[in-house]
Structure 1
Amino acid sequence: MSVSGDGVTVFDDRSVFASLEEGGTATADFRFRPQRAGNNELTSTVTYTLPGGTERTVTQNQTIETDPARRGVVLETSRSGSGTEQTLTVDIVNQGNTPADEVVVSGVSENATVSQTIVDSVPARSTKQVRLNTTLSEPRADVVVTAEYESGTVQRSVNTSTTLRATPAAIELTGLDVTREDGVFQITGSTSNVGTTTARSVIVRVVPSENVEPAAPNRDFFVGEVPGSDFSSFDLTARATGNVSSIPLEVSYLVDGERTRETFSAPVDMGLTGQQEQQTGGGPGAGLFAVLGLGVVVALVVAGLLVRRYRRGDDDDLDI
């Protein structure tokens, strides 16, 4: 069986059946593309051989009305993810009445690398969806998405623009805890990255102030890299004089090659500090001093009584 016609391109124009039983039916599908709009004549030819060896041919003509080609491929995009690694979803919408074949979808950006994918065909009045992997080198990337395709015998293309954004790294100090021992403050906590990009070369240090000085062994602490939406712990030491309500801290880090600095305050537990100062000011012998003082007062009172008694004895002698 074969199909042909003037002004018509037929794909896989021949189909063969080994046999067809008496009263049986066989169906063959043929794809064709008219080269012009209007009426097109198609000729179907069936050639077969009977059991006795006789060969016969049957021909049938059919008129096909072809609408003018309407080409209307559009692209719709959406994104998923918020870090430097994101996925760009592209809907290839064929609004025309001819298929879009050999579709190549790609993206171009100065601040991102975008993958490429291929779709064999998008039938007329249908949609196919593809995904492109993107890697941002900057917090923002303007991407031009292009689909090149074949419509009939003509090579066509369509494009659209979209913007991808990543939340830049931002470090906050969380879970701060301050303890004091022998006049030295121990400060522990976490450098928490509340952004989606990586913060690099993260350093935390104690800031010298009027009553606070960095102290060994951890005047500063090099954390290194903190990925987006992640954290890392640190440990600092400081020495303070007098009453201190907080320890000033500074965190610095690199974002896209630029160093950012932020200052924070680690609050000191005033109850704990007052207890330490009371112990330091009074000392372990404060209670002993109070007892000794009481003993001195008692001794003075006894001495006063003795003196008065002695004087009264003198007075008695004078009376005699």
Structure 2
Amino acid sequence: MRCAGTFPPTHSSVRDLLVHADTTCSGCPKAGDILVRRQQLLPVFLTLLTIVCVTFGGATVASAQQSAVSVSVDASPEDPVVGETTTFNVTVTNQEGSNSIADVSSIMLRTNQEHYERVEDVGSLAPGGSLTVKMTTTFEQAGQKNLKAHVSAKRASGGNLRAIYSPVTVDVQELDINGGLSTASNGSDETTVTFTNYGNVELSNIEITATADDSVRDNRDVFDVDPDEETSVTFDTGEYDTDIINFSATYTARGEQYETTRTATRDQQVTGEIRLTSIDVAASGSTVSIDGEAANIGGTDVESVLISIPTTDGITPAGGSGEYFVGSVDASEFSTFELTASVERDTVPIRVAYIADNDRVTKTQTVDVSSLNTTTGAAGQTQPEATSGGEQNQSGLPLLPIIFGVVLVLTLGGLGRYLWNRE
């Protein structure tokens, strides 16, 4: 019979086979021998199990220690311009729950394809400690950049070097250099010029120049202007002998000089001016009353308006009525006045004094009084009107001939009656 080690299919079980082999085959191993060998293999199995546990247990501890170190990163600005310096603040923290000091050997800023910045020998972190490293870089092409802060760290007591990552994204913008000018005069003697930064980089060394008739009249230096900001300066253009003024601004961006220009047309307001209007005159004997309106026909306000009749040959102001203080008159407004004087002439000079745009103005306006009807003293009546009234009287029956005829008829009638009675 064959050895029990072949386990022929005719036997029902290994135990039966072992019993059978023990009685029928002297050359095959006995059941006791197999049990002895199992007992000898047990220590070997336990030893292997211990080695595996230690190995995987150590890996578990290392993994836990690795997770005790965390990394965070932020970028400023998050949307830099091509060529602009971007700052990354990388913070490494050894968590409170860690039981070991962490040695940070290096921090690297990178993408999957490019390395931008690297810092070596960063330092050690006790449990609960943290450190921040500032890293800077620039980008030469626009677009979205997906970066990683790559931190290499290990236990100070020994262990493998571990890598920890933290992602950060920046959106790099195309370079836009654009400065512009605008002006406003508001009808005054001053022109305000505003310089605006419409681009996305700082503009510096800004100088604004005013030119009229191909001659430089004035210039101003202004402070640096950040993107989407503006600054203004004021030029005194009231003395310029032209209404067309050219303004130019030179500025620097990224080491290059640029220029922008603007042409302004001054919208000058007409200086305030007082003119006497709606004048009415009336006479009572040789005394003439003049009243009307002091109208401001200019575009600016006037002040201290004084209207008076000066003493001249044939004209004498009537007491305190020879002058009238109006005061202030706004642009396109008016104020009334009244004057009285003894007049023996056909015209009356009226003096008008006022202040306009800080300048004192004095002028004389003459009023014609020759049309006055000095008999009735009525203002505005003319000789043709009196003549018209005379023509109306002549158009009726003559009064004197009628009266004379009546008297004559009565006389003759009375005389005839007397003679008749006498006879």
TM-score, normalising length from structure 1?
0.52
Q: Which amino acid aligns with 1:92?
A: T
- Per-residue deviation at 1:182? 2.3
Partner of 2:196: 92
Distance 1:49 1:274, change over 3 A: closer
Pairing partner for 2:102 from 54, 59, 62: 54
**Contact kept in structure 2, 1:114 and 1:135, CA below 8 Å:** no
Asked whether the 8 Å contact 2:177–2:201 carries over to 1, the reply is no
Query: Is 2:323 the counterpart of 1:274?
Result: no
CA RMSD of aligned residues (A): 6.0
Name the structure where helix makes up a greater proportion of residues: 2
Is this contact kept in 2: 1:48–1:55, CA < 8 A? no
Task: Report the structure number with the largest CA radius of gyration.
Answer: 2
The alignment partner of 2:340 has SS state of strand
What pairs up with 1:177-216 in 2 under 5 angstroms? 177-178=279-280, 180=282, 182-183=284-285, 184-196=288-300, 204=307, 215-216=317-318
Q: Measure the CA separation in 2 of the matches of 1:226 and 1:129.
A: 38
The answer for the alignment partner of 1:171 in structure 2 is 273
Corresponding position of 1:29: 76
- Distance in 2, Cα, partners of 1:219 & 1:317: 78
Aligned residue in 1 for 2:183:
78
Deviation at 1:169, TM superposition (A): 1.2
Once residues 259 and 280 of structure 2 are traced to their aligned partners in structure 1, the CA distance between those partners, rounded to angstroms, is: 61
Cα distance in 2 between the residues matched to 1:199 and 1:43: 61
Once the two structures are TM-superposed, the CA of residue 298 in structure 1 deviates from its matched residue by 9.7
Could you tell me which runs of 5 or more consecutive residues in structure 2 were left unpaired when the two chains were aligned: 1-66, 117-137, 143-173, 390-398
Residues 130-178 of structure 1, C-alpha deviation per residue, up to 9 Å, x if partnerless? 44455554486776656565533x4857464645342231525366242
Structure 2: distance between partners of 1:305 and 1:314: 14
Given the superposition, is the C-alpha separation of residues 273 and 263 from structure 1 closer, same or farther in structure 2, using an over 3 Å criterion?
Answer: closer
Per the alignment, residue 65 of structure 1 pairs with 140
CA separation of 1:151/1:310 partners in 2, compared to 1, >3 Å: closer, same or farther? Answer: closer
Tell me the secondary structure at the aligned position of residue 74 of structure 2.
coil
Matches of 1:230 and 1:29, distance apart in 2: 60
2:39 corresponds in structure 1 to none
Give the C-alpha shift of residue 192 in structure 1: 0.7
State how far apart, in whole Å, the 1-side matches of 2:75 and 2:339 are.
81
RCO (CA 8 Å, sep 6+): is it higher in 1 or 2?
Answer: 1
Alpha-carbon separation, structure 2, partners of 1:229 and 1:109: 34
Deviation at 1:189, TM superposition (A): 0.8
In the other structure, the counterpart of 1:14 is none
CA distance in 2, matches of 1:223, 1:114: 43
Residues in 1 aligned to 2:94 and 2:70: alpha-carbon distance in whole angstroms: 14
User: Residues of 1 paired with 2:305 and 2:71: CA distance?
Assistant: 80
Q: CA deviation at 1:99?
A: 1.6
Distance 1:109 1:316, change over 3 A: same
Give, in whole Å, the separation in 2 of the partners of 1:43 and 1:90. Answer: 32
Separation of aligned partners in 1, 2:337 and 2:222? 45
| Secondary structure in 2 matching 1:168 | coil
Distance in 2 between the 1:188 and 1:113 partners? 47
Return the letter of the residue paired with 1:48: V
The 1:45–1:205 alpha-carbon spacing in structure 2 relative to 1, beyond 3 Å, is closer
1:88 deviation in Å?
Answer: 2.4
Matched residue of 2:139: which SS? Answer: strand
- Once the two structures are TM-superposed, the CA of residue 82 in structure 1 deviates from its matched residue by 1.4
Structure 2: distance between partners of 1:147 and 1:234: 53
1:286-313 superposed Cα distances (whole Å, 9 cap, x missing partner): xxxxxxxx9x999867754553244214
Q: Which amino acid aligns with 1:169?
A: T
* Equivalent residue number for residue 339 of structure 2: 236
Matched residue, 2:419: 315
Residue 255 of structure 1, CA deviation: 6.7
Q: Is residue 173–residue 264 contact of structure 1 (8 Å, CA) maintained in 2? A: no
SS at 1:100 equivalent: coil
Per-residue CA distance 1:238-280 (angstroms, 9 max, x = gap)? 56689x9x977675767786968585768999985439x999x
Aligned residues: percent identity?
16
User: When you count strand as a share of all residues, which structure comes out higher?
Assistant: 1
Structure 1: distance between partners of 2:331 and 2:219: 21
TM-score (ref. length: structure 2): 0.42
Question: Unmatched 5+ residue regions in structure 1?
Answer: 1-19, 283-293
Instruction: Name the CA shift for 1:145/1:230 in 2 (closer, same or farther; >3 Å).
Output: farther
Q: Encode CA deviations 1:11-51: one digit per residue, 9 max, x unaligned.
A: xxxxxxxxx9988854222569859xxxx9x9979462423
